[in-house]
Chains A and B, each alone.
Chain A
Amino acid sequence: MSKGGKDRAKAKRIVEQQKAAERRRRVTIWTSVAVVAVLLIAGLIGWGVLANQEKTDAGKLTTPSVAVDDGTAFSVGTGTVVVDLYEDFMCPICHEFETATGPTIKQLISQNKVTVRYHPVSILDRASNGTKYSTRAAGAAAAAAVDGKFTEYHDVLFANQPQENSDGLSNAKLIELGKSVGLGDSFSTAVNNGTYESWAAKATETFTARRYTGTPTIVVAGKKVEGPDHTLPTTEIFSQAVSQAAG
């Protein structure tokens, strides 16, 4: 090859290298822009879905007439010490607490020592194969409260608690249990229409906004009661907290 030919080949190679570099630069810029755009759009979708959900929930919200504490709880008893109980009807530890300490609570209510505010919450909807048992059960409990049978229905729901990660109880079963404690047609209609399901979501939001994260959350006179190492308090610990609060 002549000297001129060599130079030309070299020049050609340099031009090609420059072209390739230019292409890489362009591709890098535009793919980066695309990545940022995709992530922005994804974020906006999430925001939009949330806003839409909240609007729908707010539109459907029916607060049970008898609910207390910003419309989030059902009050039982007239004692001076206020006990707040946050429970999910799907939660096995709540069942454990009801079995162990429920009788003591009933006694304290009848002795006029405590006012118990039951807050049904639905944080375990994921544990019922998409049937949202926690929400349906909490809504049914609200319907029972409106018809004056909260305690009875609360107890029968825990007595018939379904396994976690099962389908939960069907609406028909929820109604059947209602009938067994003397609830009638208005209750059945409310369960079938899911009248109080948006309310259950709202009550759960209030629970979360109060920085509570798990069920059962047991609060005596404004103070959270727990066993050692954040475990479930025994009946003894619970009773102590109540007598302390009573002074």
Chain B
Amino acid sequence: MDMRQQRARFTAAWPWISTAARLGLAAVFLIAGGLKVTDLAASGRAVNAYQLMSYDAAKLVGAVQPFLEIALGLLLLVGLAVRLSAVIAALVLVIFIGAIISAWAHGLQIDCGCFSKGGELAGGRTAEYGTEILRDVGFLALAGILLVKPHTKFSVDGLLMGER
């Protein structure tokens, strides 16, 4: 197989890689939001635990965040304005990573609240900030794929552009 054939094959694979990234990222946001949306007070406490803002602000962020995550997950799931959705997802993830780094730097012992309502860890458990950041960087990579190659299969974007 010569270079050109190889490249052609890769070009054909991109939409499928991007589709997998899109659906994966959608699942991440839907699960993260779904786990928090049932108890908004707990979600507010999780945000408050980062000590980045006043409690009143944290309560509002904690209430709004799960709904935003679910909305973003749904947008990615149906594939509407994939590139823009990916940019927003990446921004959100960068904010999350920044918050975890801040908690780490300040020596706070908290659950990141990424896939839970978070809060302070019970005695004996230590925060696994490194793992949490690594995981978020992985999600960021998915968003990165979509940013560069937003063309995916089974998307509303494709439908509207008149693709089959």
Q: Which residues of A contact B (CB under 8 A)?
A: 23-24, 27-28, 31-32, 34-35, 38-39, 41-43, 45-47, 49-50, 53, 91-93, 96, 123, 125-126, 201, 204-205, 208-209, 211, 213-214, 227, 230-232
Is there an interface contact between B80 and A43, defined as CB atoms closer than 8 Å?
A: no
B residues less than 8 Å from A231 (CB atoms): 123-124
A residues less than 8 Å from B70 (CB atoms): 42
Name which residue of chain A comes closest to B120, CB basis.
A214
Binds A, one of B18-26, B81-89, B93-101: B81-89
Q: A28-B81, A214-B119 are in contact. Are A53 and B40 (CB under 8 A)?
A: yes
Is there an interface contact between B64 and A213, defined as CB atoms closer than 8 Å?
A: no
Instruction: Count how many chain B residues have C-beta atoms less than 8 Å from C-beta atoms of the other chain.
Output: 43
Instruction: Give the distance in Å from the alpha carbon of A126 to the alpha carbon of B43 in the complex.
Output: 11
Q: Please classify the interface of chain A as helix (H, G, I), strand (E, B), loop, or mixed, using the class held by over half of its residues.
A: helix
Is there an interface contact between A213 and B110, defined as CB atoms closer than 8 Å?
A: yes
Binds A, one of B1-9, B48-56, B129-137: B48-56
- Could you mark each residue 151-164 of chain B with 1 if its beta carbon is under 8 Å from any beta carbon of chain A, else 0? 00000110011100
Is there an interface contact between A208 and B63, defined as CB atoms closer than 8 Å?
A: no
Is there an interface contact between A35 and B88, defined as CB atoms closer than 8 Å?
A: yes
Instruction: Give the distance in Å from the alpha carbon of A53 to the alpha carbon of B20 in the complex.
Output: 38
B residues less than 8 Å from A32 (CB atoms): 81, 84
Is there an interface contact between B122 and A214, defined as CB atoms closer than 8 Å?
A: yes
Is there an interface contact between A232 and B123, defined as CB atoms closer than 8 Å?
A: yes
Is there an interface contact between B45 and A208, defined as CB atoms closer than 8 Å?
A: yes
